[in-house]
Structure 1
């Protein structure tokens, strides 16, 4: 089997950025626990504090508002614990780390274009019982649709509900300022922006009491026990700095490539569908569907052709499952099972999408001929 040579799955994880790699290698040379008072510990604490300050600045928060976690899944789980009493409202497009962690949550429907149904939300918030929390992601990981978070915040705050936002797919693609977003809690992940896996962040507003998910130590101001992942944290900060420095130019470039690709696809395969088209989307994400061509077939064929893409949501076993996001958008099951996600990133090249298109159209033509 030919190994994938062109990586087009950055929304799953993005390759380690050079700056992050250098920061990680330097941190590996540091022997010390940041909680120790001797010189070795103070050196580790200095690196940790510097990274915390950098990330706070980059994401528009105070350093004391940051809680380092093992990833966004943990951050999302901890955010849910903040809703002490009352219902929790989750959008239908949320990540499974939220949907599967709150089985009794009320689900905010999505419109056909992938945006949350604000009319439904307003009507629900006008009724009792008042929700304790509303959680809506900023950017959907499958379609790239950017949610109207400002409107969600205004509606939720009008009834005193907390607002949590999973901003994992927004980092490095949109300007993020915790203070300006107006949310109470924000989740982020290092490896989605070219940092190391195993490091995440929960940002909380001042004065909010957050229940620890991991207990047994005084780290992170007693909000998350356990020795901090110094290597991951300094890599996270380095990746975030690099991502923000070139963010606008990168998104302009990726957006132009994405548009040219989508135009070419629809010209050659008129029955194809770009999910989320017509709604605001981040520049790097394409959710492409074509009738009667299973997503699993497309992923396998493209892998053999040397391209790494994804389909639906991959569970821990690696099996492809139907997209709950597309189903929530009203897409029929067969159509949802024929959608793949192509996601670009910091090291994508101009020729990647044209080369992928050539291979994909060959598969498309074969499937039409065999029909």
Structure 2
């Protein structure tokens, strides 16, 4: 099985007005110790609901979502019924694929990711449906032609079958371009206090040893649509720079770091370097000058290190991590489909803090 690559590639053009709705569904056979069916719902990459074949009901993860379900009981009922029905639909799909591909026994996993991106300034909607089977890209939906794209020959039979289902494809068009954008608006309205909040980070310069790269570390920011980079004399640097992933904190905020290798930089040139943090939707960047006097090393009193925002169990995202990291295994190649020819718990001793931020 191939492990998943988790999205998002960050460029230095980040839209502050795009919102997303994603359904991530996994159905499996022959896999021990996990539910046969798992579905999660994300708004702006935040987990707001899930269901699985063990509980057979939809659970929500935020108070505002609970209020929505109370105000509109049919909303919750719709999700619950979809959860129950999809278990059988996806199992049937796996059985069909096994027959088509002449497969028997062993482990088989079918995954689907679908939803939309909605720009609340222009009204532009981008809908998507992508399927993976046994760790490989399998099908993607083309909204312009209402047909399916097969990235490999094994998927062509299914493509032709689904292309002939014109009513079903018209329904996908309705869901992706009308129903899902309306859901996004509803969720943003109910959850605006958390989904649309803006939290600036705490910034730190960290260094393991005097010869190690200097890490510019930001923690406690929200949302996760950010840019972070080093620059010299006002020009962005690409060489000798390593950009880290955006990671969740236990409180729902995020952390990120970017390292700068200073092995070839003379001490007198340090003043020419600075770390830049840009949070989508915030006008002013946070600039941190490279200054040896403010750099924290591995050996600092534990009381001075911002351990609270950095470490934790990430409890709210545990199910999402299991579903995506452990189950959503197919690798996103080149950001899309190509058609076929047809934290560590920062162990702290009495003298030094060994934190994930420095590892």
TM bin (shorter chain): under 0.3
Structure exhibiting the larger radius of gyration computed from Cα positions: 2
* Higher normalized helix content (fraction of residues): 1
Larger strand proportion of the pair: 2
Output the TM-score relative to the length of structure 2: 0.23
Select the structure with the greater relative contact order (CA < 8 A; seq sep ≥ 6).
Answer: 1
